[in-house]
Amino acid sequence: METVVSGIRPTGNLHLGNYFGAVKSFLRMQDEYNCFFFIADWHSLTTHPHPDNIRNSVKTILSEYLACGIDPEKATIYIQSDVPEVVELYLYLNMNAGIGELMRTASFKDKARQQLHISREGCEGDVEKEIFNEGNKHSVSAGLLTYPTLMAADIIIHKALKVPVGKDQENMEMARRFARRFNSTYGVDFFPEPASFHLGDKSVKVPGLDGSGKMGKSEGNAIYLIDDEKTIKKKVMKAVSDAGPTEPNSVKPEPIANLFTMMEIVSEKETYDFFNEKYNNCEIRYGDMKKQLAEDINKFCAPIRERILDMAANTEYLDKVARMGAEKARESASKTLNEVRQIIGFRPY
């Protein structure tokens, strides 16, 4: 079986966008691949060096993953900071990574710009110049700079071939580069190059209901798996709509298309067809449509929500899952690391 690795940073709760965009395909992957799913708590230090109750955030994500159906008997589910082997590989990768190439990545520049409080409109050289200013000399951490080497270590420590990422293409390119560089530096053919992939034809993009764009935590338009019925209803009823079409079979403007896309994702086909026909006949009542949509979202979320609450209350079980995952992850990681040590010239453990 091919190995798949995926990490998620423990920032907040899972929302419908996470579920349909990623977690749902993980449920299939765990049957078809040797999966390692981990919670990237070290990565969260790159932007939040003093995380507010990191153990709680980790516990939240763990409960939510399990409640969605990620199965610790099938996949290896672990917490990144439970696997110290990753740090040692990170160190070796950093020795062969260039400050220049790391500084040039768009994700570094973006986050550095935020930390330096310079606007996006600033000219190209701004980030580099500001970083080296006396007053800014510890504003941007080396940890942020080496985010890509840590991510590469996460992936290649299990010699993974596949990584289900969407927006993280740049970091994947870096991971491939660092795997190749290790091989060429030490004259070995040791690390395979990991590739991005997704199961199925295309990944599902869950829209936000605030008019445009996709659902996201930072967009402030997310419906969380943990949201209760009332909260869901409130969020859906507030969704942006308009006065309705005046011509039969009109093209749907984006906010309306988004409502329909959401319905396509969570509702029965008949429900979708019913409202679609109403739209095409110019008889749609968005109030009715939203009420139905809220009901269907709740129908989908309710059993998951219940399991999340059960999981979160069962600390003993969560600890057991984390311990079991760490053991399996460390077994795989230390096997790789022992060989890496020998390749570079160190004694195996």
Q: Which residues are catalytic?
A: 111, 214, 217
Q: Is 83 in the site for ligand TRP (CB under 6 A)?
A: no
Q: Which stretches of the chain are DSSP H helices?
A: 16-18, 24-32, 41-44, 54-68, 85-95, 99-103, 106-116, 126-131, 142-145, 147-156, 169-186, 229-237, 254-266, 269-280, 286-313, 315-344
Sign of CA dihedral 10, 15, 19, 20: negative
The residue from 4, 22, 23, 40 that contacts ligand TRP (CB under 6 A) is 40
Give 163 or 259: the residue with its C-beta nearer to ligand TRP. Answer: 163
Q: Which residue number is nearest to ligand TRP in terms of Cβ?
A: 7
Q: In angstroms, what is the minimal distance from the CB of 45 to ligand TRP?
A: 12
Q: In angstroms, what is the minimal distance from the CB of 249 to ligand TRP?
A: 41
Rg (CA), the chain: 23
Separation between Cα atoms, residue 231 and residue 105, nearest integer Å: 39
- Residue 3 structure tokens: 């190995």
Q: Is 102 in the site for ligand TRP (CB under 6 A)?
A: no
Contact 230, 223 (CB under 8 A): no
Give 22 or 262: the residue with its C-beta nearer to ligand TRP. Answer: 22
Contact 5, 36 (CB under 8 A): yes
The helix (run of H) or strand (run of E) holding residue 77 is strand 76-79
Q: Give residues 171-190 in contact with ligand TRP (rule: CB under 6 A).
A: 171
The residue from 77, 79, 163, 289 that contacts ligand TRP (CB under 6 A) is 163
The residue from 77, 144, 151, 265 that contacts ligand TRP (CB under 6 A) is 151
The residue from 54, 112, 165, 179 that contacts ligand TRP (CB under 6 A) is 165
The residue from 41, 85, 130, 154 that contacts ligand TRP (CB under 6 A) is 154
- Residue 249 structure tokens: 């079979």
Q: In angstroms, what is the minimal distance from the CB of 42 to ligand TRP?
A: 9
The residue from 4, 7, 174, 293 that contacts ligand TRP (CB under 6 A) is 7
Instruction: Please name which of 85, 10, 13, 18 lies closest in space to residue 44, comparing C-alpha atoms.
Output: 10
Size of the site for ligand TRP (CB under 6 A): 14
Segment interacting with ligand TRP (CB under 6 A) among 117-125, 161-169, 181-189, 201-209:
161-169
DSSP letters spanning 16-55: HHHIIIIIHHHHHHHHHSEEEEEE-HHHHTTT-SS-TTHH
Q: Is 43 in the site for ligand TRP (CB under 6 A)?
A: yes
Give 112 or 165: the residue with its C-beta nearer to ligand TRP. Answer: 165
Q: In angstroms, what is the minimal distance from the CB of 334 to ligand TRP?
A: 18
Q: Which residues bind ligand TRP (CB under 6 A)?
A: 5-9, 40, 43, 151, 154-155, 163, 165, 168, 171
